[in-house]
Amino acid sequence: MRKVHIITGFLFITLLGLGAWISSHRILWNDEYYSLVSSVTNTSYSKILSGGVSEGNNSPLFYALLKLQCDVFSYHPPKPWMDGHWGGVYVFDQFFLRIQSVIFMSAALCALFFYFYRRNSLLIGLYALAVTLTSSLFWFHWTEARPYAEWFALTTFQILILLNMLESPMDKEKKAWVYLGFIHCLLAFISFISSIQILAAGIVLGIFHRCRPSRMIPLVLVPLGICIFYYLHAAHYPFFFVDGPVSLISANVPKERLFIILMAAAILAFQGGRKGWAASVENKYLIFFILMLGAYGLVLLKLKYTHVVGWKGFQVSSRYFLSLLPAGIVGTVLFSDYFVRAYPGKIWKVVAVVILLCFLIFRFHKTSFLF
């Protein structure tokens, strides 16, 4: 046990150092400038917390934390930025404004490694690390002064706590219900789109744990109420499409990862008559993942139905579906392990490992341009 803690601690320090170096050498882009100048600087805490942020997503957690960080360290943006002249290389400012995102993303990556190391083995923990690091959107949002790193991290924590609960008897993990309810509230304060994953987790726990309705109040109803509040107070802009719906989803759940999950789902269905099939964590997680995927599909249909012609409003971006990224990463690792263990025999295991390695190498090639 001590070994996994030491390795994870070393990994966290390494990731923090790497993230700090990358963030200090990467120029901010327009959305980061806009968030700082329009939504944090000279914006009161009461306005931020009441949903008065002038952005499409007005959920306050990121903006409040960044404002608190700026106030504690008496940080003031460069004067050209405040005058509307965005640009220039400001090494310290780039590092300072992004350190929050670097910490959250590094913690999420360590949580994935730690969970699968303890649950399975060091090899599976390293595989989880590799799957995450070969995700393009991870690198885009790891060092970005925007809410997406927090959303990724909180979703990762939510899913890992949920998995732990689904693998344990209902009354064994009583503290986990408190932790998950707390994470759900934080998710509600980071993005009102989090209502999808909050509701999906509540449904899965309701199906398999048949928990008391009173437990659903702090776990689901309170976070959903927070999401609804900020959605009603958000500025509702028109949207237009550049990429198709499939591309927007596959940016978060690449096709080869979806293939692994679907292959495991087919094996699960084939083994449906076996004892204990319905109680397997893979089966439970598959339902959670399908619920999330289906809900985002409905969101895309709504956006497609109401989209505007021409470049008016905001482009529908893959980052709006970012919670699918950690959901797909966890699903890929979980089902890859199941894929290898599905049938006895060395030949099957060798074939399965070769297929998974080929997919991993392909993803590394797809993300290598980022380095």
What share of the chain in percent tops pLDDT 90? 58
- Mean pLDDT value across the chain: 89
Give tens-digit pLDDT for 319-360: 999 999 999 999 999 999 988 887 777 887 888 888 888 888
Confidence of residue 9 (pLDDT cuts 50, 70, 90): very high
Q: Is 309 exposed, middle or buried (0-12, 13-18, 19+ CB in 10 A)?
A: exposed
What is the predicted pLDDT for the residue at 182?
A: 97
What share of the chain in percent tops pLDDT 70? 95
Look up the pTM and report it.
0.94
What is the predicted pLDDT for the residue at 343?
A: 74
Tell which residue, 43, 93, 34, has the closest CA to residue 68. 43
What is the predicted pLDDT for the residue at 263?
A: 85
Tell which residue, 326, 334, 291, 296, has the closest CA to residue 137. 326
Give tens-digit pLDDT for 210-255: 777 788 999 999 999 999 999 999 888 888 888 888 999 999 999 9
What is the predicted pLDDT for the residue at 276?
A: 53
Give the HSE-up count for residue 237: Cα atoms under 13 Å, Cβ half-sphere.
13
Give tens-digit pLDDT for 153-198: 999 999 999 999 998 776 666 789 999 999 999 999 999 999 999 9
What is the predicted pLDDT for the residue at 169?
A: 72
